[in-house]
Structure formats: C-alpha cells, structure tokens
Chains A and B, each alone.
Chain A
C-alpha cells in the first residue's frame, strides 16, 4: 500500500510537469464530482482527475501510469449505468470531455472523424448540413460521448434496423494500456484481417483509450412515420410487436412503456400519451417516402387489428418529437417517482418477451418493489427500472437481489445480462453465469495480453478470479 502511494505521487508529479496545473484536479470538492457515474449506488473517490486535451496528453498520462503502476479509468460524460466509469481505488481518472472536436466530416465518403469526447448528438448536428446523420441514438445522446459509446457498444431505440455503435464505427486510434498507439480499421466499410475495430468496441475501457473514432454517416431518411398504440395490458402490446415482426416489416424502432413508465413520462415531459393505458407501443418506419407510405398503411392496418384501444399516427413532426421526448425522458422521469432506481438491461429472445414481462411482474409483487418497464421491444432488450429508497435500511440490497433475479431470468431464457449498458461493476457476478470457465479464462487471457499490468479500468467486466 505504502509503495502504491509512493508510485502514485511520483506519477502525479510527473503528470503535473506535462499537463497544466488547472487541468490536474486533486481537491476533494473536484474529485467528489467524479466519484460516481450514473449508477450512483457505487462511489470511489479517485486520487486525481486529469483533464486531457490531446492525444499526445493521453499517451503521456497513460505511459506515466504504466511506468509507475497506477491504474486509470477513462471517462467521457460519466453517464454509464453499470459503474463502467466508476474510479478505481488509488487510481486516476482521465477525463476526455474536453477532447470534443469533430476533426473532419467528409460528406462524399459519408464519414466523420471524432475525438473521443465528442457528444453523440453533436455528430448528427454537424452532419445535418450535408443531409447526413449518425444513426446510433442512446437516450443519453444529448450528453454521452462517442468514446463512452465505443467502450459500451451503446445502442438506442433505432438499433433495431440500424445496429449498435459497433455497426457504425469504421476505424479507431487507440492508446493501449502501456501507452503504445494502435490504429484499427480505417475509413472503408470493408477490411482485411481480423475485425479489430469490432473487437475493441464494447471492451469497456479494458483495452485502453480510444482517442480518435471514425464513424459512418447515413443520409437522413426522407420520410419518418411514427405511430403510438395504446393497450390495456403489457402482454397485448408484446403480442402486437410479435405481429409486426412476423409481417416482414423492418421498423426503425419499436418501443414499449408500461403504466408506471407512462405515468412518469407524462408528469415529466407531457408527451400526451393516452390516459389510463396499461402500455403504449411506439413504432417508427423510415426510408424513401413512397416505400414508407405503403409500409405505414400496412402497419396501421395491422395495429388496428391488434386489440389496441387506440392507434394514433403522429400527424406532424412536432407530435412525433413529443412521442419520442416522452420515451427518451423515461429514465430520468422515473427518477421523480422514487429517490433511487436501478436500471436493468437484460435481453431475452423476442418470442419470450411476454413471458419475461409476466415473470418480472410476479417478482415485483413478491418483493413488494415497484418496477417500471421501458424497453426496446423490437430486439428483446428489457429495461426494468427498479425503484427503491436508498435511505431505507436494506432497500438497496433488496433491489439488487430483485435485479439479480431478473438477470438470472434472462440467462435462463437464452438471452443476455446486458444489451447495451455493459457489465461494468454492476454485473461482474453475472458474466460467469453466461459463459463457461474456459470462455472466461480466455477473456482474461486476452485482457492480460493487451494489458499485462492490469491498469486500464481494472475490476470492471471481468471479476478477479
């Protein structure tokens, strides 16, 4: 321990010579702001936060950490829901949010080259002038960074049709945990040799720090049509999803919210969802106008037959924006219903959605804990929000136990413990339930080969053996 402290002080002294003092934060007040990510039940105060401004600085800081054996955690906006950007004890945080320049937009090639701290929504904003946009749209897109998206392979409502972050990242420049710099992929949609870019995406900061990200841009769809259908039960909404899927339509998005989530969203964002509904289903189609018009007619007919109590197509862009505002504000809105909550992110096979939701409801009753459901129905990605009051003794533990049962349920049904929020620290115990000991040992071996000293975001994703 004493040795660690000596090393850390040496490392910090060296960093202080290379990075201006105002960007080396060490005061308790400053550090406290970085002690958690959006999973606030976990807190670790770092030794220091280094606010870097260039690739060169990242490389120097990482090299210094490597020389002195100091662990580090990269941080974008700190919106991780799994403890991914939680600092590690005795380590430093490398804050990337000032590296927020879009270095280049090439409209002809349809790519944008970004620093890691670029805010997701800023890419589409900058690309709009060229009629282009960046497709992955996590609900946190007004604040989360592309670097964080890369680390977690983040998704969004529209990944049903367009895929996750991974499907839109063409190339990366990364600083490996010992400070070596590697370039992965490039600007082409195709590549030669193992897909290293794809392998780095979703590695939760364990392979080092992405300092440059090349993303693919798409033409803004000419037409976007959205419909809101209300149901008297969650199961009926789930059945409607199955029908849409079976019809051969490929919606851009298909989202469900249950009564509690509707109530919360209504109070927070006033999206005008039908009063008294037990569930709402949002379906969106996009593409070339003629095709979308024909598909939308089919969709409306199908939903009309699905036992919905109302089917309301968005009349204009303003109404569409309202529908989405309600959906995208759901997490924070639920936050108003309860002092604390845990968001789960398990995935079940799409045909098991109804069964999974029924079981979650039973668990919620058995535990006497309220659970709100907002989820990416089209791809079976659940987001149960487990409400609790952290001031009540044992409440967090009970909420965590319930969350654990939901994860077990997803594994049992042949799904996954996380669709897009990552394992982080939160689901450390559950990854080994999904994978065999051989699978886990190879993941550890890969991590050890990439980061022999184990300094990049240690204690995340892979539990110590």
Chain B
C-alpha cells in the first residue's frame, strides 16, 4: 500500500522526507506519467503547500510555495499587468508551480524571452537528508553560490522536494496577433522556419502544428502590429498556400490548445528537446507513423502525441536513431524516458551530494 502524504507546512514536508526511505514529491499530477512509481515509494503531495509568500509588483518578482497553482499565480500577475512570458503548460488543468519547475516544462512563449529555467531565481527545497536548503535569492540578479534554482529545473522530483520558488516576471507585452501560414507540408514548413527565426520581426512564439501550419504570435504596440503582420506576410508570401491573421478569442483558443495539450488527449504525450536539423530528421521518420507532431520554439521542442495502440518501441528507436531524448508526460507507459539516455558523470556526482541515500532516486 503506497503511503500518500499531504504536508501543510514546509517543516512537515521535510519531516515527511525524513520519515521515508523512498519518496517522490508530487503536485497536482497533471503530468501523471512522471509520477508513476512502485508501491514502496511514499508520495508526498504539495497541493496543501500553497500561497504566494511575497509579491511586490514593483520588484517584478514573486515567491510562492511549491503547491501554488499556476492559474492563481497568473491571475494575480495579470491584475498588475505582469506575466510569466513562457506560457506555463497545463495552467488551466491545475498544474502547480513546483511541478512545472520540476518537470522543466515551458510553453510556446519561451521562444522570445526564455523558458522556465530563465525565470526561476530562488528555491527552497528539502534535500536527501531532510534539511530545508535555500539556493539563489529573491532579486533578479544574483551570482552568489551554486545555482540550485536552475539545477531543480527538470529534476522531476528525483533530486529533492521543492518547497518554495522565487521567479522573476515581465511586464505584459501588449496586445497580440497571430499569423497562421498554411504550408504545403511539415517538411516545407520546417525548411521555412530558420528564415522566420532570423527576421527582424520579433515573434513571441513560432510553432508548427498539423497539418502544416506555422503559428507566429507577435505582441507589442498596437499601432505597430499591422506592419509586423505585413512583414511576416511578405516574408512568407511565396511559400504559404494561404495566410490567416487571428486575434481575440480565436487567437486565445489557439494558444490555449498549445498550453493545455488539448490536441493530445488519448495519446501518449512525449516532450523531445531538439534542434532544427534534428527536427527535420525526426519529422521524416515520424511522418511515416500515426504520431501527431507539434514543434514549438522554432523547432527547439517537439511535442509528440503517440497513439495508445502503437508500439512505443517504435518511437523509442526513432528517437534513438535521431540522437534525441524524450520524456513521457502522460499515458500509460512504464518508461519515463525514451530515446538516448546517456549517463552523466557530473550529474551523478551532484546527485550523490544532494541525495546520498537515494531517497529521491525512484
């Protein structure tokens, strides 16, 4: 029988860690595949560790407990004209701040100003010895000590239990508009991407979605948006079959689907960090499968929805062949990692120091 704890305080979180030989911190389980463990592992849920601890709008930073929901953070920030520009994923589905940082997930908006790693500035976490450790700080610029806040991005709950986080935020970038270019096929769209990525037009997001649509969101001064759109139109003119410009509720729906992964239900959802060159290789292989593919941040990330009734081993070997690693976020799959999973000596040493008895190594 799995024990399942729900500490109400940071101290109780530390106690829960000390009380169990094997533990996995979990948030609201919006990425269930990351929290599948054997029954001897105690699950420590952070959902009762909620609340914004500090928020001074003039500072453009906030500190919140790990179980605080992104939706709560976003609405508080919005009330002060501020945003987390990386479009945090699974926000409406109930994702917590701690889970988002631990999963290392950034949404489409990460293209312009950076991903979750670029906004985390401070952390409190429980280490393998059950101590509450602080790293980083609450000011936007800080080079004092080792960068634990960054280390925990992507740690998947396997390094320590995040109790509290400080992030920097940005001003709302202004009204936005999204240009949709319908391309001939995915390969053609991937060929066009690098040119878009180097235009003087600054896009918040550059995504590629099925069947072969390039989505480009621009935001800024209302008076200047039309010119930006025209320039994108000019740059894409010859290659796009048709070109649409959407705003308002329709635009919001597009980015909500991207953020919430509503397009990937009833599939295994896999994140694959990539590069343009490798995305082209990947796309060539995946085009022959029934996988639904979306490429975000000018193909720096591939989001793959793999049909439940297809053999995951095929995806695994496609990734391995392209020298890529994937992480399974949703779906019934015993392996959390697919593709290349190279051992890393530096990572192993750091892990030994933070979690010497392997409490979090589940």
Contacts and interface: CB of A to CB of B under 8 A. Distances in A.
Interface of A: 107-110, 130-132, 152-153, 155, 159, 163-164, 166-167, 174, 176, 180, 182-184, 186-196, 198-203, 207, 219, 221-222, 242, 245-246, 248-250, 287-291, 293-295, 345, 347-351, 376, 379-381, 414-423, 427, 431, 434-436, 438-439, 442-443, 445-446, 448-450, 461
The 4 closest A-B pairs by CB, nearest first: A198-B150, A290-B224, A222-B200, A190-B273
B154 interface: yes
10 contacts: A155-B141, A188-B275, A189-B300, A190-B106, A195-B117, A196-B151, A201-B147, A245-B60, A415-B142, A419-B143
Contact of A290 (B127, B141, B223): B223
Contacts of A436: 134
A202 B143 contact: yes
Nearest to B199: A219
B38 to A, nearest CB: 20
Contacts of A287: 202, 220
Interface of B: 56, 58-60, 81, 104, 106, 110, 114-115, 117-118, 127, 131-135, 137-148, 150-156, 159, 170-173, 194, 197-202, 220-221, 223-224, 227-228, 271, 273-277, 297, 300-301, 325-327, 337, 342, 344-347, 349-350, 352-354
A376 to B, nearest CB: 7
A412 to B, nearest CB: 13
Contact of B228 (A163, A290, A380): A290
Given A198-B153, A445-B354, 9 more contacts: A176-B345, A194-B159, A202-B143, A219-B198, A248-B171, A290-B223, A420-B141, A435-B144, A445-B353
Contacts of B171: 248-250
Contacts of A435: 134, 144-145
B198 to A, nearest CB: 5
Contact of A248 (B81, B115, B326, B352): B81
B155 A200 contact: no
B350 A196 contact: yes
B201 A288 contact: yes
Contact of A351 (B58, B134, B155, B274): B58
Contacts of A182: 344-347
A305 to B, nearest CB: 18
A376 B143 CA distance: 14
A166 B150 contact: yes
A446 B200 contact: no
Contacts, number: 258
Given A152-B143, A219-B198, A190 B134 contact: no
Contact of B276 (A108, A248, A294): A108
Given A193-B154, A198-B117, A443-B145, A380 B139 contact: yes
B190 to A, nearest CB: 11
B350 A290 contact: no
A189 B346 contact: no
B158 to A, nearest CB: 8
Given A194-B153, A446-B350, A349 B106 contact: no
Contacts of B114: 163, 167
Contacts of B350: 194, 196, 199, 446, 449-450
A417 B276 contact: no
Most chain B CB neighbours (cut-off 10 Å) among A194, A348, A418: A194
A230 B143 CA distance: 30
B327 A248 contact: no
B339 to A, nearest CB: 9
A18 to B, nearest CB: 23
Nearest to B338: A192
B143 A446 contact: no
A294 B198 contact: no
A290 to B, nearest CB: 3
A430 B242 CA distance: 61
A423 B140 CA distance: 17
A289 B225 CA distance: 11
Contacts of A167: 114, 118
B344 A196 contact: yes
B154 A439 contact: no
A379 B141 CA distance: 7
B82 to A, nearest CB: 8
